[in-house]
Amino acid sequence: MEERKEAKRVAILDAAREEFLSAGFEAANMDRIASLSNVTKQTVYRYFPSKTDLFEATVRWIGQMSGADFSRHLDHPDTNEALLRFAEGFIRWHLEDEPLNILRLLVAESGKSPEIVTTFFAAAPDETNAVLTKFFSERLGVEHPSESIRLWISMLLAYREDVLLGLGRPGDPEIAQLAVSATRLVLADHQRE
């Protein structure tokens, strides 16, 4: 019985992911989500009482299924190597279709439905920031690392706008070079302190 319930929940979340990412939040249709998941609309509402609740659960589901495992590289004993491996994984993941589609959705819908941005950030806790804060504090000795982290992450996302605008994706050499350059800058800044 529990397995069937979980299978329905997963089917609804998969259908919702498809619907939200293709139609957007406002245009997402609960009837289509029910149809895609082979359940009734009433069943969808039994599991998720509102479209916002379903969106929040879908964001959590996408996060669980995303495979964004770049933070594991911070366990590497060599600080420079840990940051470089993290940087390359971070860049690659943020240039994948699903993270880009989520960003497009948030930007497109934020004016009409600002609650989805709030819902998104409530459902997707910033675990990356937490692990980087710990790393910068412990391994680099930075007392207040939030500004350094923000600048480094901004540098690592340098190619995202080009990809979003259809100007092409960087290859492995460009990704590796960006990781090296951005990491070298952040490390040099902290070695001067």
The DSSP line for 1-66 is: -HHHHHHHHHHHHHHHHHHHHHH-TTT--HHHHHHHTTS-HHHHHHH-SSHHHHHHHHHHHHHHHS
74 is in which domain, residue-wise?
68-191
| 186/103 same-domain check | yes
Compute the Cα dihedral for 100, 155, 139, 141 and give only its sign: negative
| 98/186 same-domain check | yes
- Per the document, the length of the chain is 193
Which distant-in-sequence residues (6+ apart) come within 8 Å of 138 by Cβ?
none
| 88/118 same-domain check | yes
| 180/95 same-domain check | yes
Dmax over CA atoms of the chain, in Å, equals: 62
Task: Tell me the pLDDT of the chain (193 aa) as tens digits.
Answer: 889 999 999 999 999 999 999 999 999 999 999 999 999 999 999 999 999 999 999 988 888 887 778 999 999 999 999 999 999 999 999 999 989 999 999 999 999 888 888 888 887 767 888 899 999 999 999 999 999 999 999 999 999 999 999 999 999 999 999 999 999 999 987 765 5
* pTM listed for this prediction: 0.84
| 18/54 same-domain check | yes
| 45/82 same-domain check | no
| 72/60 same-domain check | no
| 54/136 same-domain check | no
Query: In which residue are the tokens 């994948």 written?
Result: 96
Q: What are phi and psi of 19, to 5 degrees?
A: -70, -50
